Chains A and B, each alone.
Chain A
């Protein structure tokens, strides 16, 4: 058994576009460093540390989807809802940096591309979808977990669209874009189901023991008592 490579390797996307996304990602990580400062107190900080560790571990678990392919957790939605969007961006970024530097998973020049798709697009995307759904869904535990599930699910094809955009701008292979888009969104629309299940199980476990620790619950007027 060999754990598959999971992230964008060097070579898929040309150097200029890789550097562009490194700059964009660095800017967002800078915003996250500032933003997280205001969201992290004594109570949340240890949980934020744990979130990155848990995501690293869960990303090692590739689950089979459809014929001959597998998927794994991104963790952006989980991190955003559990510890807040900015701390979430940082948690996923820590995981991606450790994976790229130590485990050779995700190319070094592709770091900005991977951080953009998974730490930024998936995490902030999931957060805004979650917040929007919280407004329109019932203000109870079912509504909360439904918003969590849908945000986690959608974060995966959103990430896949991020890659397609990068491929459109700087893909080194001469392949028509619609093929890449359809394949990426298709496969990742299935993988998203796994993301939603793991995210809901984890969030609901923490909700059950300490709902005040769940950032997405403590900073809203949602009633979770039932």
Chain B
């Protein structure tokens, strides 16, 4: 299989995971947040300075439909990460 083909399959898988599977992710607090709550330091958390971002908390601000909201956030996240990472690594590679 060519590298190009693997990258294509990987990108399609990533978009599928971020846009569709993500809706079914567990909504329970993750390990760190759970510990912070149990042990008692969750109240020291402050809102991020970018908490007002239209994509904060992996949702597209203003969209009521959660399924579409998380899908848009996921797709934008995948595309943004792709631009930064493919850009960075193609810049760094040996010429």
Of chain A, the residue at the smallest CB distance from B85 is A52
The answer to whether A160 and B22 touch (CB under 8 A), given A45-B90, A57-B78, A172-B44, is: no
Of chain B, the residue at the smallest CB distance from A209 is B1
A 32-59 binary contact with B (CB < 8 Å = 1; else 0): 0100111011111111111111101110
Q: Please give the number of chain B residues whose Cβ is less than 8 angstroms from any Cβ of chain A in the complex.
A: 66
Is A46 in contact with B22, judged by CB distance below 8 angstroms? no
Of chain B, the residue at the smallest CB distance from A101 is B50
Is A69 in contact with B34, judged by CB distance below 8 angstroms? yes
Of chain B, the residue at the smallest CB distance from A10 is B46
Total A-B residue pairs with C-beta atoms closer than 8 Å? 253
Residues of chain A with a CB closer than 8 A to B59's CB: 2-3
Is B32 in contact with A53, judged by CB distance below 8 angstroms? no
Quick one: which of A109-134 are within 8 Å of B by CB?
A: none
Is B28 in contact with A49, judged by CB distance below 8 angstroms? no
**Separation in Å of the A201 CB from the closest CB of chain B?**
12
Q: Is A28 an interface residue (CB 8 A)?
A: no
Q: Is A100 an interface residue (CB 8 A)?
A: yes
Q: Is A196 an interface residue (CB 8 A)?
A: no
Residues of chain B with a CB closer than 8 A to A104's CB: 47-48, 50-51, 53, 55-57
The answer to whether A87 and B89 touch (CB under 8 A), given A1-B66, A10-B48, A12-B41, is: yes
User: Which of B's residues lie within 8 Å of A, judged by CB?
Assistant: 1, 3-4, 6-7, 10-11, 13-15, 17-18, 21-36, 38-41, 43-51, 53, 55-59, 66, 70, 73-74, 76-78, 80-82, 84-86, 88-90, 92-94
Interface pairs (12), CB distance under 8 Å: A1-B25, A2-B66, A3-B70, A52-B85, A54-B13, A56-B18, A62-B28, A94-B85, A94-B88, A97-B84, A103-B57, A180-B35
